[in-house]
A and B are shown apart, each in its own frame.
Chain A
Amino acid sequence: MGERDVVVMVVENPEMRENLLRVLEQAGFGFVMEEVAIAELRNTEVLKESERKFRELFEGASDAIFVIEVGDDNTPGHFIEANGAATQMLGYSRDQLLSMTPNDIGLQREDLYLFTGPVMGDLSTIEVTLVAEDGRKIQGESSTRIVEVSGSMILMCIIRDITERKRVEEALTRENEVTKAMNDLKSALLASSSIEELSSRVFKYAKQLTGGGIGLVGYIELDTGDLVATTLSEEMWDVCNVRDKDPVFHKIGGLLGWILDNKMPILANSPKLDPRSGGVPEGHLPIDRLLGVPAVLGNNVVGLLAVANASREYCDEDLATMQRLAAFYSLAIQHKRSEEVLAKHVENLARSNADLQQFAYIASHDLQEPLRMVSSYVQLLARRYQGKLDKDADEFIEFAVDGAHRMQALINGLLEYSRVSTRGIQFEPVSCDAVLDSALRNLQVAVEESGAIVTRDPLPEVNGDAVQLVQLLQNLIVNAIKFRSDDPLCVHVSVEMTGDEWIFSVRDNGIGIAPENAERIFQLFERLQTEKGGTGLGLAICRKIVERHHGRIWVESELGRGSIFYFTIPVDTYEH
């Protein structure tokens, strides 16, 4: 009982009065007792005064107070008295109440504590649910005492309205649970759980937070538009007797279909009466209550969350909870979809890359044979008949031989290019000094013929494919020779270390490259000057070799000012 509760009792029997006082004292109650002699009590004035005081306190109490008669068989009888707070709480008038019994306002025998064993005067409270005149349910905290008055027993029942407190408490508890659930789901999403795991977890919380029951959580598959409800295969599978049951729905009707079509939730505590319902398929568990929410991304429904047959009616809070879960689930689906799209792109890219390489290899390899024939016989023609036919014939033969040579160079280049990734050897420590030695040895004739002066700094050891590194430096030096200016050619090979990579450079004083072409020259078949010959593959091969070594290649140049080709190789390169 709260501090404001005041009960006035008029107890005539001294023994009983003593008892009552002792009990109240034990319970820690302060009380004021007015000893009033029975004789005096009978005095009308005193009685009237007492009555007035009692009325005042009784009516002024903020808690509902009921006085209930006790029948012969100890069952609660009619209300004898009810205060203003009681009539206000329930919406009945005093007169109405006095013609009613506790049962009429939802109070059960147990609520009144009649037989559940309280000692007389026990002050513990219990929670009860009352039904108001308009059917509204009221949560109350009730304490009831049995009191003897003038030789007969009455029940004094004091009920405090705790509906609001309950509501706040429940809302808080729910909010806590939902927050916990959302946090757990977020962790699961961040741990990149599969969509099946996430569906399963969302479903678990949907049930847990809406009063149990059954249901499903599923996502719409992007390609097919099917609803994939893998949660069905978990606990529902064995109890469901629908023929040809399948957790993948091509088409879904009834209320769930309506949700998907209209992108709106359905909260139905009597779904069978809902005109949108088409009933359930044969063998399906009967649905007594349903709460379904779509998972929506932008304008599209991407999934569905539904619970059914909870132990209680679904309420707006359940709907709000489901909508929060649905919002999360939408994100999870989006996440899954982007992962799928990404994986598909990566796969496609890898495949087309592999195809391309295979194609380049086969094309260049298989073209060799017919080309060998063409070029050999054209060369044979030249060898035998150059100068023996007329001038035109000589020229034709010359063009044919030249064409065959160029085609040979192209095919060889292409083959070389495709072999960078397909025929590379495993990385091992390689001395770049030795690599440059080899490259210069291979280029001895070309270097001598061009009169180039090649200078060099000491080069480091790197992890790489020696054959390819030789080719890389060789191609860069050939490039310098090919695009030399009229000045004597100087080529300088150098290296610098920055952070975790070596930056190699091959500097020349040749004709240079316009900055706008600096990117293009590393592309396949890209040639800036057709008259200089070449296949447009040399630098593309360089780039491919550098990339295989996890490095970058670029050029710094200006027309007429020479070029510096740079490429990097990580200080520690291990082939993946």
Chain B
Amino acid sequence: MNTSEDRKPVGLLLVVEDTKADVRLLKESFRESGVMVESTVVEDGEEAMAYLLRRGRFNNAPRPDMVLLDLNLPRKDGREVLLEIKSDPQLKSIPVVILTTSTAEEDVVECYDLGANCYVVKPIDLDEYIRATRALAEFWFTVAKYPET
């Protein structure tokens, strides 16, 4: 089993997710996948925007390399967060990956319409979940190229 404590994180992840068990599962699955990521967790859409726009307690927050966004969030819905990120000239180049349980076609279509970079349905099986998180990290943190900020 890979332990990656000795490695440098490949990127900074902003996780927007209100379920603690889901957050933990995500972290554990990154850990199981052997990919070292640094992550910050916010629990709703308002906080996500505050973080990205460096408001309030987030005034010194670093710019994330990727946003993992749940759709059903308290206060501000994931779709609104997505729209705001993709309408903001400063933020829109940050890849936003929708990570949700919804398999509904209309959600998939809407998210891509709003500019989502990728739509991932949370796999039910842990092994698949680990595979998915590894693939995400590998692609968005190592394969993809972004503008220098």
Question: A residues near B, CB below 8 A?
Answer: 368-369, 371-373, 375-377, 379-380, 383, 408
Contacts and interface: CB of A to CB of B under 8 A. Distances in A.
A368 B102 CA distance: 11
Given A376-B129, A383-B126, A369 B101 contact: yes
B88 interface: no
Contacts of A371: 124
Given A369-B101, A372-B101, A376-B25, A408 B124 contact: yes
A468 to B, nearest CB: 17
Contacts of A372: 101, 122, 124
Interface residues of B, number: 12
Interface string B27-40: 01000100000000
Nearest to A373: B21
Given A372-B101, A377-B21, A383 B32 contact: yes
Interface in B123-139: 124-127, 129
B125 A379 contact: yes
B74 to A, nearest CB: 16
Contacts of B122: 372
A383 B29 CA distance: 11
A405 to B, nearest CB: 9
A423 to B, nearest CB: 10
Contacts, number: 31
Contacts of B32: 380, 383
Contacts of A368: 101, 124
B25 A377 contact: yes
A377 B22 CA distance: 10
Given A368-B101, A380-B28, A383-B32, A375 B124 contact: yes
24 contacts: A368-B124, A369-B101, A372-B101, A372-B122, A372-B124, A373-B21, A373-B22, A373-B25, A375-B124, A375-B125, A375-B126, A376-B25, A376-B126, A377-B21, A377-B25, A379-B125, A379-B127, A380-B25, A380-B32, A380-B126, A383-B32, A383-B126, A408-B124, A408-B125
Contacts of B21: 373, 377
A373 B24 CA distance: 10
Nearest to B104: A365
Interface of B: 21-22, 25, 28, 32, 101, 122, 124-127, 129
A79 B137 CA distance: 132
A380 B21 CA distance: 12
A369 B126 CA distance: 13
Chain A binding site: helix, strand, loop or mixed by DSSP? helix
A408 B22 CA distance: 18
B8 to A, nearest CB: 24
Contacts of B101: 368-369, 372
A377 B24 CA distance: 10
A519 B118 CA distance: 47
A383 B28 CA distance: 11
Contacts of B22: 373
Contacts of A383: 32, 126
A401 B101 CA distance: 21
Contacts of A369: 101
A371 B126 CA distance: 12
B19 to A, nearest CB: 8
A376 B127 CA distance: 9
The 6 residue pairs across chains A and B that have the minimum distance between CB atoms: A379-B126, A376-B126, A372-B124, A373-B21, A376-B25, A380-B28
Nearest to A378: B126
A373 B124 CA distance: 8
Nearest to B122: A372
A377 B125 CA distance: 10
A383 B124 CA distance: 15
A322 to B, nearest CB: 65
Contacts of A377: 21, 25
Contacts of A380: 25, 28, 32, 126
Given A372-B122, A377-B25, A383-B126, 15 more contacts: A368-B124, A369-B101, A372-B124, A373-B21, A373-B25, A375-B124, A375-B125, A376-B124, A376-B125, A379-B125, A379-B126, A380-B25, A380-B28, A380-B126, A408-B125
A401 to B, nearest CB: 10
Contacts of B126: 375-376, 379-380, 383
A377 B28 CA distance: 10
Interface centre among B28, B125, B126 (most CB of A within 10 A): B126
Contacts of A373: 21-22, 25
Contacts of B125: 375-376, 379, 408
A379 B125 CA distance: 8
A52 to B, nearest CB: 119
Contacts of A408: 124-125
A198 to B, nearest CB: 50
A416 to B, nearest CB: 12
Contacts of B28: 380
Contacts of A376: 25, 124-126, 129
A385 to B, nearest CB: 12
A379 B129 CA distance: 11
Most buried by B among A368, A375, A376, A377: A376
A373 B101 CA distance: 12
A371 B122 CA distance: 12
Nearest to A371: B124
A369 B124 CA distance: 9
A380 B24 CA distance: 11
Contacts of B127: 379
Contacts of B25: 373, 376-377, 380
A352 B46 CA distance: 42
A369 B122 CA distance: 10
A379 B28 CA distance: 12
Contacts of A379: 125-127
Nearest to A379: B126
A214 to B, nearest CB: 63
